[in-house]
C-alpha cells in the first residue's frame, strides 16, 4: 500500500480539492483506494458526503478502542472508500503526544489497511504539528499544493530541509502550483523562480477556476460530476504525472468509475516501508 499525503502549512491552497480528485482517479484506475480525512473541518468528508454519520473520537481511536477498518465508509464510487474526520481531530496532536512513540502512531495504525487497499490518501489539516510529523513519517509520497507567493516557496524549502534533516531519503516530495492565474505577471515570475530552485516541481499547474471552486457545492469529485471538463483534464494530467514519479509508469487509464458501490478488492501490499 502506498501512502500519499496532501499537505501544506497554509490553509485554503487546494489540499482537500486535490486529495478528493486524485483519490477518485486512483480508484477509477482500478486501485482500491481509501481517503482518510485528517482535518477536523472535514472538507473531504463533506465533499464525499460522509458527514452525518457516527464517527469516533481521536482519543478512542488512538487508545485502540476501534481499528481503522471498522470505521470505513463507502463513498458510492467504485473502489473509493472514506475514513471520515471527526471534530475531535482538532486535538489530534495533543492525544498523539500522550501515546508512546508519538511520531509513529499513524504509520502503525495504517498497517491494518495494508491488505485492503493499494493506496491510502491523507488529506491533512493546515499547520505543522505532531500530526504532520506522523504524516511525513508514514507517507511514501507527499503532494504539496502551492499558491504562487514568495512565502509558499520558502515554506517548501523548509519542508524539504526538514525531510533531509530527518534522513527520510525514500520520501518523495511532489509540489505543484495550485490556484494559478497565468494572466498575473507576479504569478509567472514566482513560478519561474520556484521551478529553478526546485526542479522536482511537477509540471502540471492547476489554474484558479470557478469550475474547480464549484466542486465544493456539487459535493462530488470533478471527474465524476464533470468528466469531460477542462478541470478534469488538468487533474488527470496531474495524476498521470504523479503516477510516473511514484512508480515510473503511467497510470492505468479507464473511463470514469460508475457511481455505485463495490467492496474494495483485497490485495496484497505492493510495497513495504
Ligand atoms: P485546503 O484544503 O488547502 O484548505 P480547499 O481544497 O478546501 O483547500 O480549497 C479552499 C477553497 O478554494 C475551496 O472553496 C475550494 O473550492 C477552492 N478551490 C480549491 N482549488 C481551487 C482552484 N484551483 N480554483 C478555484 N478555487 C479553488
Ligand atoms: Mg482542506
Q: Tens digit of pLDDT for each residue in 206-264?
A: 999 999 999 989 999 999 999 999 999 999 999 999 999 988 654 444 444 433 333 33
Residue owning the nearest CA to atom 10 of ligand 1: 12
Distance in Å, CA 124 to ligand 2 centroid = 7
Distance between CA atoms of residues 139 and 221, nearest Å = 23
Residue with cell 503532494: 143
> Model confidence over 96-123: pLDDT tens digits?
999 999 999 999 999 999 999 999 999 9
pLDDT score for 253 = 41
d(CA 127, CA 39): 11
Q: What is the DSSP string of 68-115?
A: GGGG-EE-SSTTEEEE---GGGGGHHHHHHTSSSTTSHHHHHHGGGTT
What are the tens digits of pLDDT across the range 147-193?
A: 999 888 888 988 999 889 988 888 999 999 999 999 999 999 999 99
Q: Which residue has the higher pLDDT, 68 or 169?
A: 68
- The pLDDT, as a whole number, for residue 227 is 96
Phi, then psi, of 220 in degrees rounded to 5: -155, 150
CATH fold of the domain at 2-247: Rossmann fold (3.40.50)
Coil/strand/helix, residue 234: helix
Which pLDDT value is given to residue 265? 33
Nearest atom (ligand 1) to Cα of 19: 6
**Pocket residue to mutate for ligand 1, from 11, 12, 41, most atoms within 8 A of Cβ:** 12
Instruction: Give residue 37's pLDDT.
Output: 97
Amino acid at each position: 500500500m502506498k501512502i500519499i499525503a496532501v499537505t501544506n502549512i497554509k490553509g485554503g491552497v487546494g489540499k482537500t480539492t486535490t486529495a478528493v480528485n486524485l483519490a477518485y482517479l486512483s480508484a477509477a484506475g482500478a486501485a482500491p483506494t481509501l481517503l482518510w480525512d485528517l482535518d477536523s473541518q472535514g472538507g473531504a468528508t463533506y465533499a464525499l458526503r460522509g458527514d452525518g454519520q457516527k464517527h469516533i473520537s481521536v482519543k478512542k481511536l488512538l487508545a485502540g478502542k476501534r481499528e481503522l477498518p471498522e470505521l470505513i465508509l463507502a463513498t458510492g464510487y467504485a473502489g473509493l472508500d472514506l475514513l471520515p474526520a471527526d471534530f475531535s481531530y482538532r486535538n489530534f496532536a495533543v492525544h498523539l503526544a500522550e501515546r508512546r512513540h508519538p511520531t509513529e502512531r499513524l504509520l502503525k495504525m495504517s498497517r491494518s489497511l495494508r491488505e485492503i487497499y493499494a493506496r491510502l490518501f491523507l488529506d491533512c489539516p493546515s499547520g505543522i504539528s505532531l500530526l504532520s510529523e506522523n504524516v511525513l513519517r508514514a507517507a511514501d509520497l507527499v503532494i504539496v499544493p502551492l499558491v504562487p507567493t514568495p512565502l509558499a516557496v520558502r515554506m517548501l524549502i523548509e519542508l524539504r530541509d526538514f525531510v533531509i534533516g530527518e534522513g527520510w531519503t525514500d520520501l518523495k516530495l511532489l509540489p505543484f502550483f495550485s490556484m494559478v492565474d497565468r494572466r498575473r505577471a507576479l504569478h509567472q515570475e514566482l513560478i519561474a523562480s520556484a521551478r529553478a530552485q526546485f526542479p522536482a516541481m511537477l509540471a502540471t499547474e492547476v489554474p484558479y477556476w470557478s469550475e474547480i471552486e464549484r466542486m465544493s457545492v456539487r459535493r462530488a469529485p470533478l471527474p465524476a460530476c464533470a468528466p469531460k471538463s477542462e478541470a478534469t483534464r488538468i487533474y488527470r494530467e496531474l495524476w498521470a504525472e504523479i503516477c510516473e514519479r511514484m512508480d515510473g509508469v503511467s497510470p492505468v487509464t479507464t473511463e470514469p468509475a460508475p457511481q455505485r458501490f463495490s467492496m474494495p478488492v483485497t490485495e496484497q501490499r505492493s510495497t513495504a516501508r
